[in-house]
Amino acid sequence: MLNLNSTIDLNFKQFFRWWKRELVFLIPERIKPFFNNEHGFIIIRTMSSQLVLPRRRATDKRDYHPRVTSSQLALTYRLLDQDEPLATLERSDRSFSIQSLYEKDLRLAKAKVILRLSSQEAIQKELSLPIAAKENLHQVISYELDRYTPFKAEQVYFAVKPLTGENEPGYLRVMIIVTTRELLDGLYEDVKAMGISPLFVDYQDAPNSLDDIDEAYNLLPEKFRQKTANLPRLLNGALITLTSILLILVIAMPVWFEYQTVNTLKLKAESLEKDAKKVKAMQSSIDAVIDETSQLIKEKNASPDVINILNTLSLLIKDDTSLNYAQYSEGHLQIQGESPTASALLAVLEESELFSNARFASPVTQDRVSNLERFQITVDVINTNTNTNTNTNANAQTEH
């Protein structure tokens, strides 16, 4: 059953190594050697080995030292999952040197050496430990080693290999591989005398994956391990960092430039928007002024010019007629005066384009002194400014 409470351990290094292997798998076999930078492995195994474990009493743990006998070493070259036997050597033969094999086959000079123990030289055991022990796994097992194996920690070399698969909640499964110090020290001295310096030591029943040696366990103690130079590691780290930075720049720079361009266009758009608002405000002001002006013109043209009315009266009325009073109100003009023939004024006023519907507002009377007729005439005034106002507004709207 799927355990949804399990913790997901994201291992990016393992993911990229898996990705690399999958990409290499897609390369055709004919051209794969051109892309493969691996130089193979030399695997060394013991032959005719025998591990003799003496009996011990249940209460005695002090003299529990196994005796090991092995006479020969078998060397095998492995490349791309293909094994090629190289040589079988006597462990006691101190005259052999690995350089002799390197001189015969240049491939071997760059191969990595692995020392692999047989089932008579090591033991393995699966354990289920609390998840809290993961951070300090090697030390925890070292304290409890005599519980899990017949040996004490000072008698053996051991390594821990995490196991994949489902674990119980709160626990992790590991495998411990144990070999005696006496056996491994003697075996290391023999291969060292032949000029061989193994990269790591593993166990044939739980071999390391040669495709992922970065995650390999190693029974070889720290004092016997190869000293890796810091300079290549630093150079590789620097190259990886530089490549990552360049990759980030290649991805980020176009985005950054686009971002800057968008910001520049945005600023220009905001500036244009401000100018457009100013123009719109000015246009609104101009429209308001035009409306006010049109209203004033309309109000002005709603009534005829008084000067025009007076000029017209002065032209129509003869010198023998005098006006004493004139009043204009709401399109009507009322005049009072004296004239020899008041009735003739009606016809004169009617003939004018400015006046119409001339009529007496009161009866005509005779002045006994001047012998002139007194009159009071009301006449409608025709507003000639209406057409002019209409044409002016049309022209103003056209120009606007």
Domain boundaries, given as residue ranges, for the chain:
12-53+64-227, 231-290, 306-399
Give the separation between CA 198 and CA 225, rounded to whole angstroms: 8
pLDDT given for residue 79 in this prediction: 85
**CA distances to 161, 255, 379, 398 from 359, in Å:** 131, 91, 6, 43
Tell me, what's the pLDDT at 392? 46
Q: What is the mean pLDDT of residues 245-261?
A: 88
Q: What is the mean pLDDT of residues 348-377?
A: 85
Could you read off the pLDDT of 176-185 as tens digits, one per residue? 999 999 998 8
The string of DSSP codes covering 110-131 is: TPEEEEEE-TTT-EEEEEEEEG
- Whether 220 contacts 188, CB under 8 Å: yes
According to CATH, the topology of domain 12-53+64-227 is Nucleotidyltransferase; domain 5 (3.30.420)
When pLDDT is averaged across residues 103-129 and rounded to a whole number, the result is 86
Q: What single DSSP character describes residue 206?
A: B
pLDDT over 70 percentage in the chain: 78
pLDDT band at 286 (very low <50, low <70, confident <90, very high): very high
Sequence length of the chain is 400
pLDDT of 145 strictly over 50: yes
Q: Which one is predicted more confidently, 233 or 326? A: 326
- Tell me: pLDDT of 57 over 50: no
Q: Hey, is 201 helix, strand or coil?
A: strand
Query: Maximum Cα–Cα distance for the chain, whole Å?
Result: 177
pTM score of the predicted model: 0.49
Query: What is the CB neighbour count within 10 angstroms for residue 46?
Result: 22
pLDDT at 178: 92
Task: Tell whether the model's pLDDT for residue 104 goes beyond 60.
Answer: yes
pLDDT of residue 105: 81
> Containing H/E element for 249?
helix 230-301
Amino acid letter, 286: I
Q: What's the pLDDT at 399?
A: 45
**Is residue 280 over pLDDT 70?**
yes
Per-residue pLDDT at 357: 86
Whether residue 18 contacts residue 214, with contact meaning beta carbons closer than 8 Å, is answered with: no
Q: How many CB atoms lie within 10 A of CB 238?
A: 10
Q: Which of 204, 180, 176 is nearest to 116 (CA)?
A: 204
Res 20 pLDDT > 80 = no
23-32, 120-129, 318-327, 343-352, range with the lowest pLDDT: 23-32
Tell how strand 112-117 and strand 41-47 pair up. Answer: parallel
CA atoms within 13 A on the CB side of 185: 8
pLDDT in tens, 2-13: 455 555 555 666
Architecture of domain 306-399: 2-Layer Sandwich (3.30)
User: How high does pLDDT run on average in the chain?
Assistant: 79
Alpha carbon distance 44, 332 (integer Å): 135
**b/e code 216-225 from CB counts within 10 Å (16+ = b):** bbbbbeeebe
Sign of the alpha-carbon torsion through 257, 261, 266, 267: positive
